[in-house]
Amino acid sequence: MAQFEFDERKQSATLVAADPGFDFQGLVRDLLVLSKARVVSLLVFTAAVGELLAPSFREHWLNGMAGLLGIALAGGAGGVLNQIVEPALDERMRRTRRRPLVDGRVGVRGALLFGVALLFGAILVLAYGTNMLTLGLTLIGTVGYGVVYTLYLKPRTPWNIVWGGLAGSLPPLIGWAAVGDPVSAMPLVLVGLIFVWTPAHFWPLALCCREDYAKACIPMLPVTHGVKRTCREIVNYAAATLALSLAPAALGAGPLYGVVAAVAGAGYLLMTLRLKRMPEGEAMDRYARKVFNASITYLFVLYAALIGGHLLTMSGYF
């Protein structure tokens, strides 16, 4: 793996600017980018669905709120660790070269302090507000993403996002555990659903950025196995996501969820099939990014339907 120099002058930047014209709002934006707030918001949302579906949510909703806060803090810590480890790589990627550490808007020491504060905050909140299972699962997810995926899987195997995606698939189970319910089939299915969704979600973006990954010597699937193989795998994982997304309907999610899952899954699968048929070029790259964005909406719709179906079932409509 090629090693890239990173401008040490950027590492000397501090977390808080010393001049009177210090931009507080800009710092807040940079910290949100460092903690990958958009990604974390999706983790928190899927954890919230796990909590709402859990039988004990009404009795232990305060523990659930603590669980969501802990997941948000821990997810942010994982995002910070990821960027501390990869500033040289981020500098080579058009998608990431404006990140705060790369530009020097935030220093490495400041980012490290921020990440440690988030992690310790998560540990305190989860230890005192939930239970040891919730804390353990959250730490597994944080270490899995920030260390195992970032340091070992991403630079070594084209299947990095498959195995690394397990860390990001745990929040529904974490949310379920936060309210004190024992592990059962439903949260495990929700974990599996995100696990198989993740490659079909990320590889379209990897297609758009394949040239940057190649220059950075990162063995993403489009770089190592080519565009056509990547498109086939996207279709395979989209089909697997559709199949598994129907399982919650049999576990009590209700017919409304089953209909939404079938329609949304079929629509996303059709998008991936169209992507597979497109010739390599700029048009395919643009459509791949559209597929990437659609995958986020797809997961949101699935989990929103889970909540809707559950509420209707609880109300006696089904």
Q: Tell me: the pLDDT tens digits for 76-108?
A: 998 888 888 877 776 777 777 778 877 778 888
Q: Which of 159, 182, 205 is the last residue of a domain?
A: 182
> For the residues 245-271, what does the mean pLDDT come to?
93
pLDDT at 21: 58
Do 190 and 284 lie in a common domain? Answer: yes
pLDDT at 240: 97
Q: Kindly state whether residue 17 falls inside one of the protein's structural domains.
A: no
pLDDT at 190: 96
d(CA 266, CA 248): 16
**Closest listed residue to residue 173, CA positions, set 54, 57, 295, 72:** 54
- Tell me: the pLDDT tens digits for 264-306? 999 999 999 999 999 998 999 999 999 999 999 999 999 999 9
pTM (predicted TM-score): 0.86
E strand or H helix that includes residue 159: none
Q: Which of 163, 182, 201 is the last residue of a domain?
A: 182
Q: Kindly state whether residue 20 falls inside one of the protein's structural domains.
A: no
Q: Kindly state whether residue 61 falls inside one of the protein's structural domains.
A: yes
Q: Which of 160, 182, 204 is the last residue of a domain?
A: 182
pLDDT at 5: 35
What is the percent of the chain where pLDDT is above 70?
A: 91
> For the residues 171-191, what does the mean pLDDT come to?
94
Domain containing residue 44: CATH number:
1.10.357
Kindly tell me if the per-residue pLDDT of 19 is higher than 60. Answer: no
Q: Which two tokens stand for residue 244?
A: 């598994």
* Number of structural domains found in the chain: 2
* pLDDT bracket for residue 316 (50, 70, 90): low
Kindly tell me if the per-residue pLDDT of 202 is higher than 60. Answer: yes
Do 264 and 296 lie in a common domain? Answer: yes
Kindly tell me if the per-residue pLDDT of 45 is higher than 50. Answer: yes
Q: Which two tokens stand for residue 247?
A: 């399982």
pLDDT at 315: 67
* pLDDT bracket for residue 11 (50, 70, 90): very low
Q: Tell me the average pLDDT of the chain.
A: 87
Do 177 and 191 lie in a common domain? Answer: no
Do 159 and 248 lie in a common domain? Answer: no
Chain Cα centroid distance, residue 309: 24
> For the residues 115-139, what does the mean pLDDT come to?
95
Do 176 and 306 lie in a common domain? Answer: no
* pLDDT bracket for residue 153 (50, 70, 90): confident
* Domain boundaries, position 96: 25-182
